[in-house]
Amino acid sequence: MEINLDNYRNKKAVIFSGRERGRLVRDQIGGNNLDEADEITFVIPDDVYAIASSFILGLLGQTIRSLKNAGKNPEDVIRIPEGFESTFREAFRQATQTECLL
Amino acid sequence: MKKVDCKRKTILILLAQKRGYRNALKRWWRRIRKIQKVDSKKELRNSSLCHYYDRSVCSMGRKQPKNISRPEVPQNFSFIENCEKTCIFLKDLVSSVQNNKTKKIYLDQSKCTNIDLCAETVTAVLLKDIGDNYKIKLQGKYPDDYELKRIVCASGITKYLKVVNYNPEDMCLFPIVKGRKVKSQANESPSKDIEAEKLINYINECLNKCGWQIVKDSKAKFAKAFVEILDNAEEHSQKINWWITAYSKELASKKIECHLVLFNFGISVYQSMQKLPLENALRTRIESLIKKHQSRHFFSKKWDDETLWTLYSLQEGSSRFYAQGEENKDRGQGLSDLIQFFQEIGESDDGETPVMVMVSGNVYIKFDNDYKIVKRNKNGNERRQIAFNHSNSLEVPPDKNKVMKLSSTFPGTLYSFKFIIDDKHLQKLQKEK
Instruction: Indicate if the pLDDT at residue B324 is higher than 60.
Output: no
pLDDT score for A67: 92
In a domain, A90, yes or no: yes
Instruction: Indicate if the pLDDT at residue B157 is higher than 50.
Output: yes
Tell which B residues from 213 to 252 touch A, by Cβ distance under 8 Å: 216, 219-220, 223-224, 227-228, 231, 235
Band (B316; pLDDT cuts 50, 70, 90): confident
CA distance to A16, B167, B325, per residue, from A19 (Å): 10, 39, 17
Rounded Cα distance, A4 and B13, in Å: 80
pLDDT score for B404: 94
Query: Is residue B322 within 8 angstroms of chain A, CB to CB?
Result: yes
Contact A99 B216 (CB under 8 A): no
Q: pLDDT per residue over B162-211, tens digit each?
A: 888 888 888 889 999 999 888 878 888 888 889 999 999 998 888 888 88
- Radius of gyration of chain A from Cα atoms? 13
pLDDT score for B38: 45
Rounded Cα distance, B361 and B409, in Å: 5
| Cα angle: B123, vertex B128, B131; to 5 degrees | 125
In a domain, A100, yes or no: no
Contacts of B185 in chain A (CB under 8 A): 24
Nearest chain B Cα distance for residue A54, angstroms = 8
Percent of chain B with pLDDT strictly greater than 70: 86
In a domain, A49, yes or no: yes
Contacts of residue B232, Cβ cutoff 8 Å, sequence gap at least 6: B334, B335, B413
Instruction: Indicate if the pLDDT at residue B98 is higher than 80.
Output: no
Contact A97 B194 (CB under 8 A): no
Percent of chain B with pLDDT strictly greater than 90: 32
Q: pLDDT per residue over B5-48, tens digit each?
A: 667 777 777 777 777 777 777 777 776 655 544 444 555 555 67
Rounded Cα distance, B207 and B204, in Å: 5
In a domain, A102, yes or no: no
pLDDT score for B326: 55
Contact B333 A54 (CB under 8 A): yes
Rounded Cα distance, B270 and B430, in Å: 41
Contacts of B204 in chain A (CB under 8 A): none
Tell which B residues from 144 to 183 touch A, by Cβ distance under 8 Å: none
Query: Is residue B289 within 8 angstroms of chain A, CB to CB?
Result: yes
Of the candidates A8, A87, A101, the beta carbon closest to that of B186 is on A8
CB atoms within 10 A of CB B36: 10
Full DSSP string of B276-314: S-TT-HHHHHHHHHHHHHHHTT--BTTB-HHHHHHHHHT
Of the candidates B190, B289, B327, the beta carbon closest to that of A102 is on B289
Instruction: Indicate if the pLDDT at residue B52 is higher than 60.
Output: yes
Contacts of B376 in chain A (CB under 8 A): 101
Of the candidates B184, B381, B383, the beta carbon closest to that of A18 is on B184
Contacts of B335 in chain A (CB under 8 A): none
Rounded Cα distance, B79 and B323, in Å: 34
Of the candidates B219, B317, B381, the beta carbon closest to that of A49 is on B219
Of the candidates A9, A52, A65, the beta carbon closest to that of B227 is on A52
pLDDT score for B39: 46
Q: Residue A18: exposed, middle, or buried by beta-carbon count in 10 A (0-12, 13-18, 19+)?
A: buried
pLDDT score for B177: 93
In a domain, A47, yes or no: yes
- Nearest C-alpha in A relative to B229: A18
Rounded Cα distance, B422 and A82, in Å: 31
B36 vs B125: which has the higher pLDDT: B125
**Pure H helices in A14-84:** 19-29, 31-36, 53-69, 74-77
Contact B312, B289 (CB under 8 A): yes
Rounded Cα distance, B81 and B29, in Å: 51
Contact B384, B315 (CB under 8 A): yes
B7 vs B359: which has the higher pLDDT: B359
The domain tally of chain A equals: 1
Instruction: Indicate if the pLDDT at residue B85 is higher than 50.
Output: yes
CB atoms within 10 A of CB B326: 17
Nearest chain B Cα distance for residue A38, angstroms = 22
Of the candidates A9, A62, A101, the beta carbon closest to that of B383 is on A101
Q: pLDDT per residue over B371-395, tens digit each?
A: 888 888 776 677 788 899 999 998 9
**Closest alpha carbon to B267 in B85, B56, B67:** B56
Contacts of A67 in chain B (CB under 8 A): none
Contacts of B235 in chain A (CB under 8 A): 20
Instruction: Indicate if the pLDDT at residue B332 is higher than 90.
Output: no
Categorise residue B384: left if φ over 0, alpha if ψ from -120 to 50, beta otherwise.
Answer: beta
Range of the domain at A87: 2-95
CB atoms within 10 A of CB B171: 18
Rounded Cα distance, B31 and B40, in Å: 14
Nearest chain A Cα distance for residue B349, angstroms = 29
Contacts of B186 in chain A (CB under 8 A): 8, 21, 24-25, 27-28
pLDDT score for B33: 59
Contacts of A95 in chain B (CB under 8 A): 330
Contacts of residue B47, Cβ cutoff 8 Å, sequence gap at least 6: none
In a domain, A16, yes or no: yes
Strands B137-141 and B171-180: unpaired
B21 vs B327: which has the higher pLDDT: B21
A15 vs B350: which has the higher pLDDT: A15
A64 vs B339: which has the higher pLDDT: A64
- Nearest C-alpha in A relative to B329: A98
pLDDT score for B220: 87
Rounded Cα distance, A52 and B334, in Å: 9
Contact A18 B231 (CB under 8 A): yes
CA distance to A3, B366, B372, per residue, from B393 (Å): 42, 17, 12
B374 vs B83: which has the higher pLDDT: B83
Contacts of residue B194, Cβ cutoff 8 Å, sequence gap at least 6: A10, A13, A15
Residue A52 carries which DSSP code?
A: -
In a domain, A101, yes or no: no
Nearest chain A Cα distance for residue B384, angstroms = 8
Task: Give pLDDT tens digits along chain A (102 positions).
Answer: 899 999 998 877 899 988 889 999 999 998 888 888 999 999 999 999 999 888 999 999 999 999 988 999 999 999 999 989 988 998 898 888 765 555
A-interface mutation test, from B183, B326, B377, most A Cβ less than 10 A away? B326
Instruction: Indicate if the pLDDT at residue B143 is higher than 60.
Output: yes
CB atoms within 10 A of CB B140: 19
Query: Is residue B295 within 8 angstroms of chain A, CB to CB?
Result: no
Mean pLDDT of chain B: 83
Q: pLDDT per residue over B227-263, tens digit each?
A: 888 888 888 888 889 999 999 988 888 888 899 999 9
B351 vs B225: which has the higher pLDDT: B225
- Nearest C-alpha in B relative to A5: B187
Size of chain B in residues: 433
Residue B185 carries which DSSP code?
A: B
